[in-house]
């Protein structure tokens, strides 16, 4: 999914994983490592294909500007993830995903219309990314206004790589179990998803997929509601 859209891998998977076991720190290292691997592969492939292009596939200028805004909230979010109890973090994730789902169902994506909203969305998205890796819709709303469509996916991939590297360093310093064995077991499945996602991205560039995102939003809303109900019942 992340390979196809340029974002959303954690957003699409975390609600379902937390229904099984509401410990975000079990899954986030796995998602993070796979993101680092396949984001790197995708960006390098596109860089080699576009070596003769004038602009390249990454908008480095805007990426640097955005990171100056995002680094502080990102670190604050990572600290919250490591220190807050599992049931609280899971509840926060379910609530955020439920909120996102309405933007898909009603085709009302987040939109940034001025520089102040840019800063708010980038800061809030970075904080949510720090807590759970699901800040992409807010960050995407800003980047889509400032980065050319042909550069958007790879620019986001580089951004995710930097943000996830920060999170992984924090995990190591906090002695979090990085689930290395699970990385190896799931790597073939992630590779298949990566290949499918690349094809799906090319398809999305040519289509208007309101129905697809409406169904996706409905599934996410149902899953998040069940997750919240489970936490409350416990």
Look at 68 and 205; give whichever has higher pLDDT.
68
Task: Please tell me the distance from the alpha carbon of residue 46 to that of residue 41, in angstroms, as a whole number.
Answer: 9
Average pLDDT, rounded, for the chain: 82
Write down the domain spans for the chain.
Answer: 2-233
Name the nearest CA neighbour of 135 among 208, 199, 76. 76
Task: Please tell me the distance from the alpha carbon of residue 65 to that of residue 68, in angstroms, as a whole number.
Answer: 6
Task: Give the other-Cβ count within 10 Å of 170's Cβ.
Answer: 18
pLDDT at 182 over 90: no
Identify the pLDDT of residue 61.
93
Task: Output Rg (C-alpha) for the chain, integer angstroms.
Answer: 17
Both tokens assigned to 124 = 């809030």
Asked if 86 and 139 touch (Cβ cutoff 8 Å), the reply is no
Q: What percent of the chain has pLDDT over 90?
A: 20
């Amino acid at each position: 999914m992340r390979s196809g859209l340029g974002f959303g891998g954690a957003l699409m998977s975390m609600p379902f994983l937390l229904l099984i076991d509401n410990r975000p720190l079990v899954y986030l290292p796995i998602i993070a490592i796979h993101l680092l691997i396949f984001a790197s592969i995708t960006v390098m492939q596109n860089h080699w294909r576009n070596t003769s292009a004038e602009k390249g596939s990454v908008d480095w200028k805007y990426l640097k500007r955005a990171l100056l805004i995002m680094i502080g909230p990102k670190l604050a979010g990572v600290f919250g993830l490591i220190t807050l109890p599992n049931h609280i973090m899971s509840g926060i994730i379910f609530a955020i995903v439920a909120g996102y789902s309405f933007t898909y169902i009603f085709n009302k994506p987040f939109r940034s219309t001025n520089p102040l909203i840019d800063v708010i969305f980038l800061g809030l998205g970075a904080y949510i990314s720090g807590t759970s890796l699901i800040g992409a819709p807010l960050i995407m709303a800003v980047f889509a206004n400032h980065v050319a469509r042909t550069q958007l996916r790879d620019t986001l991939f580089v951004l995710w790589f930097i943000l996830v590297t920060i999170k992984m360093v924090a995990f190591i310093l906090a002695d979090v179990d990085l689930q290395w064995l699970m990385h190896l077991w799931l790597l073939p499945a992630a590779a298949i998803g990566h290949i499918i996602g690349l094809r799906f991205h090319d398809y999305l560039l040519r289509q208007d997929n309101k129905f697809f995102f409406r169904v996706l939003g409905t599934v996410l809303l149902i899953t998040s509601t069940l997750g919240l109900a489970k936490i409350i019942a416990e």
